């Protein structure tokens, strides 16, 4: 089963996203900060950035660093699931 990590500083957002992803058939865990995620993950994963602060420089920096998508809050559920699907496809393709 594909694994998705949710990193958000707002607990209600983490819970809602985790429920959405699990309902879509994805294994999902959540973390309150990027550092908490990095400490727990210990491996390279495709990354989808979700933010309320969509600044062009930040967007460029994240995408240049390897994020597969950069989405702005409030989220469209379909866009999020499509971005995750694309990230997982890229990861599967890279493993071949």
For position 96, what pLDDT does the model report?
61
Residue length of the chain: 96
Q: What does 22-74 look like in DSSP terms, one character per residue? A: HHTT-EEEEESSHHHHHHHH-S----EEEES---HHHHHHHHHTT-SEEEESS
CATH class, range 3-95: alpha beta
For position 39, what pLDDT does the model report?
81
pTM of the model: 0.64
CA dihedral 1, 79, 18, 55 (to 10 degrees): 120
Per-residue DSSP letter, 84: H
> Average pLDDT by consecutive 10-residue portion of the chain (96 residues)?
85 94 91 85 78 90 87 93 89 67
**Chain-centroid distance, C-alpha 88:** 11
């Amino acid at each position: 089963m594909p694994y998705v990590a949710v990193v958000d500083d707002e607990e209600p957002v983490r819970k809602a996203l985790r429920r959405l992803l699990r309902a879509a058939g994805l294994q999902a865990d959540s973390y309150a900060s990027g550092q908490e995620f990095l400490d727990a993950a210990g491996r390279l994963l495709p990354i989808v950035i979700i933010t309320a602060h969509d600044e062009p420089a930040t967007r460029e920096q994240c995408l240049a660093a390897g994020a597969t998508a950069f989405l702005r809050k409030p989220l469209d559920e379909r866009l999020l699931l499509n971005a995750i699907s694309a990230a997982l496809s890229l990861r599967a393709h890279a493993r071949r």
